Amino acid sequence: MLMIMFYVAITAEAMTAALSAGRRNMDWFGVCIIACVTALGGGTARDLFLDHYPLYWVKTPYVLLLVCGAALLTIAIARVVDRLRWPFLLLDALGLVVFTIVGCNVAIETGAHPIIVIVAGMVTGIVGGILRDVLCNDIPLVFHGELYATVSIVTGVIYYLGLTLGLPTDLMVLVALGVGFPLRVLSIMFKWEMPKFVFDKDMGE
């Protein structure tokens, strides 16, 4: 079930990324690159710093076809995708939690330190979106104060602690989803944010 949700999340991430590329008048190649970076960038960054090879999309190259296919489909139905804002926000929230769990699992398999397990989950969940925003010349969403990275960290901590207590993996996947997904959705609905650091050197003058 986790892998099914993983592929659904990758597809949704690719489609929303393609829409972002289209808003910046990128050509079809650019659309596919932005989609790949968004959907697969977090896992790639995780595998690189964990020295975990081959990279996921190198080991399973058909995922590139899935991502690029979703991006090209978005070009054809862009107006429909643009109207489905809330469904894609929900899929993005689901993707954040699923990517975090998958990232934690990979780190656990490599025997990483508990702190690195949590970091690996967070990197898997948020780096793709950061790379998308940077390439699209936007300030990354995760730096705006939204509860995005925080949700990933909370999800990873709950999931990993449950595993260390000897609880079944399937149960902890459900628990992590049951906490992380609603937390992200509620943060969107009620605009919960992290405290911001605002510094203006002229304020004290």
The predicted-structure confidence for 137-186, as pLDDT tens digits, reads as follows: 988 888 877 789 999 999 999 999 999 999 999 999 999 999 999 999 99
- Please check whether residue 200 lies inside any domain of the structure: no
- Span 89-111, average pLDDT: 96
- Span 123-132, average pLDDT: 96
Q: Are 193 and 147 in contact (CB under 8 A)?
A: yes
- Please check whether residue 204 lies inside any domain of the structure: no
- Please check whether residue 203 lies inside any domain of the structure: no
146 φ, ψ (degrees, to nearest 5)? -65, 150
Distance CA 118, CA 115 (A): 5
Q: How confident is the model at residue 203 (pLDDT cuts 50, 70, 90)?
A: low
3-class state of residue 113 by DSSP: coil
Instruction: For residue 193, give the DSSP letter.
Output: B
Give the tens place of pLDDT for each residue, 28-66: 999 999 999 999 999 999 999 999 999 999 999 999 999
Number of domains in the chain: 1
Shortest CA distance to 148 belongs to which of 164, 169, 132? 132
Give the per-residue pLDDT at 125.
96
- Please check whether residue 152 lies inside any domain of the structure: yes
Domain range for 11 is 2-189
- Please check whether residue 194 lies inside any domain of the structure: no
Shortest CA distance to 99 belongs to which of 17, 33, 43, 60? 43
Burial of residue 197 (number of CB atoms within 10 Å: 0-12, 13-18, 19+)? exposed
pLDDT at 204 over 70: no
- Please check whether residue 198 lies inside any domain of the structure: no
Give the tens place of pLDDT for each residue, 172-184: 999 999 999 999 9
Residue with structure tokens 């925080």? 150
Q: pTM, whole model, 2 decimals?
A: 0.93
